[in-house]
Structure formats: structure tokens, C-alpha cells
Structure 1
Amino acid sequence: MNEIKIKDLILDNKVLVGPMAGVSDISFRSCVAPLKPGLIYSEMISSKGIVYDNQRTKDMCIIEDHEGPVALQLFGNTIEDMVEAAIYIDQNTKASVIDINMGCPVHKVVKGNGGASLMKDIQLAQDIVYNIVQNVSLPISVKIRTGWDQESINCVELAQAVESAGASLIAIHGRTRSQMYTGSVNLDLIKAVKEAVTIPVFGNGDIKTAEDAINMLEITGVDGVMVARQVMRDPWIVEKIKAAINHETYVDVTTEIKLEWLRNHFLTMCHYLGEDVAVKKMRGLAAQFASGLDGGKKLKAPLVRMQSLEEFDRIVTEYKLEKSEKL
């Protein structure tokens, strides 16, 4: 049985697609949704942006019906702003979950005492969750790390604090804030968090293959896994993990289908953002995607310099032609 209950929400599988700043917008989520993860997270949304009625921030809260279950992720550091923003999401969006970011390690977020900096003040973290839970009907999830640094590992204490405050789900990235994305995830600490609470726990970090996901599930006992950066390179990692969990054989899609997916992502960004903005975003995203393809280096170089959808099509056509000539 792969169903997982998050308050009143039933997730139909154990694979979540995690939040990525500048990536997990409506266009990305729309293109990942057909792969049917249990839940897709938005990019970080500023609580102050919502409170100050910033239209760009509120536009980040828009969810289309075709996206499936979406968790909108808030960041901030005051109870008042976080509660007001959560109430807005609860009453004005199609979110299935409200997530509180306590794990982002990026300097511009933590310098404002948001993200992973909340791990340094467990009482404040607990109070934020408690007050949000008291004022909204949606389930609340919390994304954390193992601690601020190696000298302040406190993920178990924080997990217990947010559970007691009413959180319905915890996702833990198995590194400290100071590690950023270096080194390896600590599976023992993920396991310790899972054993310390009764609500569902999802493990995150270093999941690049279905085997990595199964390894995390077996060693830590978590209820499911959260994949993020690997989805940029290989969106089908979602299907691969689901197949592995269900002991099913997975046959990878063709390069042709992968390139069609990338083009559809580009077109979807053009629809929501306009071509000029979409081109700038796609340069970086396409570079990540190309790294997952056979001979992707040759595709990556021109994609990071492209100026239009038309040029994108020309570059991809030349890549496919060269590939076919080698067969």
C-alpha cells in the first residue's frame, strides 16, 4: 500500500518533487505533473511578498487544476507575516499543502533569518507552525536539514517540536546548512528523525537513481522520498522510483521523447512568462537537462547561448541529426 495520509490529504505514492528556487514554477510543475508524483512543491514564496500584496509574489501562488496536488512553500521569520501569508494561501489558492521552509541554505534567505536559520531558534520555529496550524485548514509540512552545522545537529528536537505544534509532514534533507550541497547525506540522522515522530517523514538528498531512493527507504525507514535537482536532469526519475518501489520493470523513454518533453517545457514557459523571459530561464534549465543525455555536452554548449525558441529548435534538430548519423 503506497498511500500516505497527510491530515485529510491522501498521497497516492511515495515520491515527492521538492522545491527548487527559480525552477519549480507553474510551467515546470505543469510538465512534471503527467509523471504523477505524490506531491509537487513550489519554489519558495516570500511571506512578506504576500503580506505586502506584491502581485508577482501572489502570481507564484497560482495553481492550475492539471498540476495535481501542489504544496506551496512559504519562507519568512515572523509569526505574524507567516500566519497572514498562510491564511491567504489557505483561502485564495488551490494548494493542497502549505510547506514551511526551514531548510534553505542560501545566504540571501538565511541572512534575513528565514530558511535554515529557523533551525537555530526551535521555539520560534515551533511557534510559527503552531500559529499557522491554528489559523488554516490545509495540512502543514515542514522542510528541514539536519542542523545549522556539525556542532548544532538538532533535527530530532526540531522534528518533535513541529510535530507537537501540529505539522502533518516533515521532509528532511540529510545535510547541515553549512554543508550546502557538498559531502554526503547522513542517512542515520534521517532515520533518527523518522523514529522520533509519528507523522510521515520523507527523506531528501543525493537521490540520483531509483536505487538511491530504495536505499534511503530501506536504511532510514522513511515513508517516502523527495527528489529535486535530479528531476531537472531526468524528470522520469519519478516514474523510475515508483516502479522500483512497486518491484516493476521500468523501460526508459527514448531520447526523442526526452527532447519533446524539454520543448514542451519551453513552450509552457513561453505561455506563462513570455518568450524573452522563457529563453533566459531555459538556458540554465536546458543545460541541466542536457547533462542527462547521451552526448549532451555538445547540446549544452549552444543551448546556454540560444536567443529564441526558433534557435532552440534548430539546435535540437542538429543534435538529433548528428545522433542518427552515428547509428
Structure 2
Amino acid sequence: MKKIKIKVPATVANMVCGFDILGMAIHEPYDEMELKLLDSPEIIIKHEDRFGLSEDPSNNVAGVVLQHIQQHLKLTTGFEVTIRKHIKPGSGLGSSAASAAGAAFGANALLGNILSKEEMVHFAMFGEELASGVRHADNIAPCIYGGITLVKSSSPIDIIPLNTPDLFVAAVHPQVEVKTSDARQILKKNILLKDAIEQWGNIAGLVTGILKNDIPLIGRSLNDVIIEPVRSILIPKFEEIKAKSLKMGALGGGISGSGPSIFMLTERKQTAQDIARMMKSVYDDIEVESLIYVSKINPVGIEIVEKEY
């Protein structure tokens, strides 16, 4: 294969209580990436979007991933990548993970699918390290595997794909900046044992609910007593939006990744649409621009749109 065009979905990391270990893919928004195999070993990055991201391969999330793949496989060929981002950087919806996972997935397809999914995650994590300083896989895994994934371990990589419940996601991205690095720095270094026990129960309940398709159990497990109380102070109107969403019928939800996006899970599409409109209205009232998305959980992850041989 000489050229491939792919559609790379946004992802919601943590899923409230599963900090750095749980994530899910959604349909909207998504990035578009085109990758070409080159005869020479150079790596060329082109951005066709408005975000001003570096096109220097060593300072670009996709470029770093391709460099590591190239070095590991001792390739004499290179890659040209054209990226059209619709997942805004710093949104909390897996923007950097989309570029990293898309680069690993696209390169693997061009090379004849010689890498396993675990290996693609391994290489994509170098992109996340460039973006946030931490090699985490909670966004990358659902992007590559689709659906909801559990990162049992990042070293060695141990990814467990879970079921994909028939649920809807309402998400809002208020146009305020929350850097992942900053959101990590404010986290507590020590936590109380009673809080840890409650959190473990929530994570176990959420995973069990997903595997059993037990919707009420999923709802009552979407609770975070460790991360959300600290990070939510960075997101204006978070508590109001969460309270109103629950009153309107949301199963639960919280901060998407490190924020500022907020997501809610619902059983019905109409409920998700109503909640999304409410979210936008709350931010309109304080004159903060926002983007809203309503999507089902994406069971596929990255999709191939076009191939050229």
C-alpha cells in the first residue's frame, strides 16, 4: 500500500473514576489523516488546520511516533503525513492521542500490518509523552481498539477491550484552556485509604457494569472521589452542569480526560441532545463559547476511509 486515508476518533479518558486506565472512543469529533509511504527515509508532516502545531517531526506528536517506528524497524523508507485536526488541542477529548494513534495505525497499514495492536499502542505512547510528559494509554487504547478499553498495565502493555454498551454520550467543550501537564500537577500526592477503597469499588463496579451490560450499575459507579474534586475547580460551571445533567436523566459523567470538556452518558439519544443543549446554554449565559457533541460509543475506533496501492 502506498497511501492511506483514515478517520481518527476523539476519546474520553478516565470515564470518571478510572484515572489513566479507562477510556472510550466516540464518533464526534474526529481527525482526518493521510499517510504516504516514501522511498527516502525522511518524515514529512503537513497540517491543514488552524491550530498552528509544529511540523518539525521531532516536535510533532505524529512525527515522534513515526520516528520511533522507523528506528525500531530499521526502515529505509519514510512517511509523509497530512493532518486535518477537528479535535481541538487541549480539549480533553484526546487530540494528541488521535495524532499519535493515527500515525501508528496508518504506518502499520502501509507496512503490511506487521505490528500488533499492543505494539501500535506502545509506539503511540511516545506521542503522548511529547504532548503531556507522561506515557499514558487511556486515550490511545480506545482509539486503536475501539469501544471501551481497560489499560491493566502500561509497562508491559496489557490492554483489555471491554464491551460497548448501547449508550449515548453528550459532551461539551468550553473554550477555556486546561493543560494536561497543569491538571496533573495539582493532583494530590497522597490520598486517604477510605477514599482509595471507595474509588476501587467504583472502578470495579463500572467495569463489571460494562461487561454485564448492567446500566444501573454503570450509573451508580460513575463517581470519582479523588481526581474530580481537585480538577473540577479548573472548569467553570462544572458542578452546575453535572447537577443539571443528572436531574435531566443522565446516568452520570464528569471531566473528559484532564478537561475542560465534560461528558455525560445517557440511555436515550433525546436525553443526550437535551443535555448537550443545556450545557451550551450554561456557557452562553456566562459568555463562554462552547462546542457540543452527541455521539454513541464508537465500537470501531480508527477507520480506513481510502487505500491506494
Compute the TM-score of the two structures, normalised by the length of structure 1. 0.29
The structure with more helix, counted as a fraction of residues: 1
More strand by share: 2
- What's the TM-score once normalised by structure 2's chain length? 0.30
